[in-house]
Amino acid sequence: MLLEFKNVMPFPLKDYQHDETSVWKAGFSLEFPKKVLLNASSGKGKSTFVSTVYGLRKDYTGTVLLDGKPIDTLSIHEWIELRRTKLSAIFQDLQLFPELNVWENLLLKNQLTAHKTESEIEAMLVTLGIGDKKFQQCATLSLGQQQRVAIIRALLQPFELLLMDEPFSHLDEGNATIALELIRSETDLNGGGFVLTTLGSHHGFNYDHELKL
């Protein structure tokens, strides 16, 4: 999947002094599979970047292209198809269903894609240390636990590009490393790539490319 930014400037960021190397000024063209790190301090537009590429925000000037096609020309139906087959995301606010339990939240996605077997999903829960929380309502989980549910959910579909908006912000370094390892192996299994945004820590991750904001 080819992702290109041409003169893209989100409205809320247009008065901000951006570095010459910032994607908001310089633009970029990336062919996935690639593992990309997007490192920036708070307020520079990490979440805006993820939301824009995922098609949730349209408040920008310039052109964002996916496989050569401007994304603002995609219909809602095309977006839905993309989000089911090529594009996955872990949002900063996680977007879980608090009234459903962990298992229901995960099945909701997997029933749509039939990407993993139930035992594979259970294994993922165990890997991330929340195997015993399977039937706990999400609203009652800690933020760190919820974050891990959101990570697993994002992996329950085929993808060419996985967008992650500070996915480890509530995890300790040890758990973050385990989670990143799971993401890396699933990404390779899909033959896809990802963009990881962080506030600074690399979580010991060897990236192919770094984007700056």
Binding residues (CB under 8 A) for other proteins: these are 54, 56, 76-77, 79-81, 83-85, 89, 91, 95, 97, 99-100, 104, 107-109, 111-113, 153, 157
Shortest reach from residue 30's CB to other proteins, in Å: 22
Nearer to other proteins, 44 or 166 (CB): 166
Spatial strand order in the sheet of 193-198: 87-90, 161-165, 193-198, 35-39, 209-212
C-alpha angle 182-187-193 in degrees, rounded to nearest 5: 135
Nearer to other proteins, 82 or 196 (CB): 82
Three-class DSSP labels, 105-149:
HHHHHHHHHCCCCHHHHHHHHHHCCCHHHCCCEHHHCCHHHHHHH
Q: Within 10 Å of residue 182's Cβ, how many Cβ atoms?
A: 18
Q: Which two tokens stand for residue 195?
A: 């963009």
Shortest reach from residue 51's CB to other proteins, in Å: 10
Shortest reach from residue 59's CB to other proteins, in Å: 12
Nearer to other proteins, 134 or 209 (CB): 134
Nearer to other proteins, 40 or 53 (CB): 53
Nearer to other proteins, 107 or 178 (CB): 107
Shortest reach from residue 113's CB to other proteins, in Å: 7
Shortest reach from residue 97's CB to other proteins, in Å: 6
150: exposed, middle or buried (C-beta count within 10 Å: 0-12, 13-18, 19+)? buried
Q: At what angle do helices 173-190 and 118-127 cross, to 10 degrees?
A: 150
